[in-house]
Structure 1
Amino acid sequence: MTMTRATGIRLGMLPLAVMAMFAAGCGTQRSGDDAGAAKSSQAAVATPGTPTDFPCPDESSAPAPPTTAGTSDPAVPPTDHYAENHGFMVPFPLHGRQRCEGLAAVGRVKSALEPLRKRGDFAPESVRSALTGLGYSTGKVQSYQNGPTGVGFLIDVDASPLCLEGTMSRDSTQAEAFGGYPDHSGCDRPSGGH
């Protein structure tokens, strides 16, 4: 009887041992294995934390890698908490299709404002009129005097989250697109965070 009882315990342990072997990853590929096609298919899939950018229509070069306030050298500890405390004022970058939409919108805005710049018309009302003429909602376009011969503007595009901000001066018209701010629902730069 002793033999039968020991064999029964051993047989009961067999399913438990098999489950432990599967949980340990038996049969999975390891970093040194030659995976061939499996590796190339894994490389094509973007991880959730890594936004994918691709060249947009009419873009002359490949997109620049995204930069954020937290990309400083991790080996150097911060000497103060300025970046951490002011992170709410750093706009979200656009990626993928939204980035292409933003670049296209920037191109349209610059084209609409260039005739004003060439004429020397730096009145905020003229800039606002040109921008609303592009189809942006009157309530979502802000324009303001930016120095003696300059105008600033901010557009909250209905296709959220997409914001356009820029300036026009005697020298040039500048604009950029971004995806809003953390802890803030509008396109205007927040004045306070948490």
Structure 2
Amino acid sequence: MRRTEVRFGIPLLAILAVLAAGCGTERAADTAGDGGSSRAAARTPSTPVDFPCPGESPAPTPTSSVPAADSSSPSATPPVDHYAENHGFMVPIPLHGERRCAGLAAADRIEAALEPLRERGDFAPESTRGALTGLGYSAGKVQSYQNGPTGVSFLVDARPLCLEGTMNSGGTKVDAFAGYPDHTGCDRPSGGH
């Protein structure tokens, strides 16, 4: 009889030890906001969060006067755009959340730094490069080149931000993005997968 009691007692003690250790006592909601991992968060795909950045007013929600197509009809499915599909590697990855705000702030700084050059009509790539390195960007990460007789284009690799733009007599335009799919640099890839 003694041997039977020991045989049943060991598994029972193991089960009690596991329960006493606290397995299963933490819920996913307990750690979701404190930086810890959450099983519920791991299962749910994240959607990028965009919010108004400092100095930016909220964008109005676009409205469409075109009625939504009935998704049950076969003609409602748009044709597959193979060109877009095959050239998707050349589409910049957009910034979201805090990185988007950092990108907008960097673009504003660049525009402000280049404005005196634009007002003087100085569209020399060397001048543009000097203004950008003057903002603290590494000379090895700044490219600038002539864009027509009165314009200059530039690219700054400030990863995780990429900043690309043009300056001419009409103004300065700077776009911030997060790079390209299947490519490690900020420069536009010439070939994809």
For the criterion TM > 0.5, the same-fold answer is: yes
Shift in Å, 1:59: 0.8
> Which residue of structure 1 lines up, in the alignment, with residue 59 of structure 2?
62
- Structural mapping, 1:41-190, within 5 Å: 48-62=45-59, 75-78=77-80, 80-157=81-158, 160-190=159-189
User: Could you tell me the TM-score, scaled by structure 2's length?
Assistant: 0.68
Task: Give the secondary-structure state (helix, strand or coil) at the position aligned to 1:165.
Answer: strand
Which ranges in structure 2 are unaligned for 5 or more consecutive residues? 1-40, 63-70
Moved more, 87-96 or 48-57: 48-57
In the alignment, is the contact (CA less than 8 A) between 2:51 and 2:58 conserved in 1?
A: no
| CA RMSD, Structure 1 to Structure 2 (Å) | 2.0
Q: Deviations over 1:99-131 (max 9, x none)?
A: 000000000000000000000000000000000
Deviations 1:61-92 (A, max 9, x none): 33889xxxxxxx972122x5111110000010
**Partners of 2:166 and 2:77 in 1: CA distance:** 37
* Runs of 4 or more consecutive aligned structure 1 residues displaced over 6 Å after TM superposition: none
CA distance in 2, matches of 1:121, 1:52: 39
Distance 1:149 1:111 in 2: 19
Task: Quote the offset at 1:50 in angstroms.
Answer: 1.5
Q: What is the rounded CA distance, in whole Å, between the counterparts of 2:97 and 2:60 in structure 1?
A: 10
Q: Residue 167 of structure 2: SS of its match in structure 1?
A: strand
The alignment partner of 2:186 has SS state of: coil
Instruction: Please give the alpha-carbon distance, in whole angstroms, between the structure 2 residues aligned to 1:180 and 1:123.
Output: 26
Cα 1:175–1:56 change in 2 (3 A) is same
- Per-residue CA deviation, residues 144-181 of structure 1 (Å, 9 max, x unaligned), is 00011000000001xx2210000000010000100000
Please give the secondary structure, in 2, of the residue aligned with 1:77.
coil
SS in 2 for 1:168: strand
SS at match of 2:103: helix
Q: 1:191 to 1:149 in 2, by over 3 A?
A: same
Name 1:37's counterpart in structure 2. Answer: none
Which residue type is aligned with residue 58 of structure 2? S
Gaps of 5+ in 1: 1-44, 66-72
Identity %: 73
**Aligned partners of 1:186 and 1:167: how far apart in 2?**
19
Number of paired residues?
139
Q: Is the 8 A contact 1:54 1:63 kept in 2?
A: no
In the alignment, residue 85 of structure 2 is paired with which amino acid? Answer: E
Kept in 2, the 8 Å contact 1:166–1:176? The answer is: yes
The TM-score with structure 1 as length reference comes to 0.68
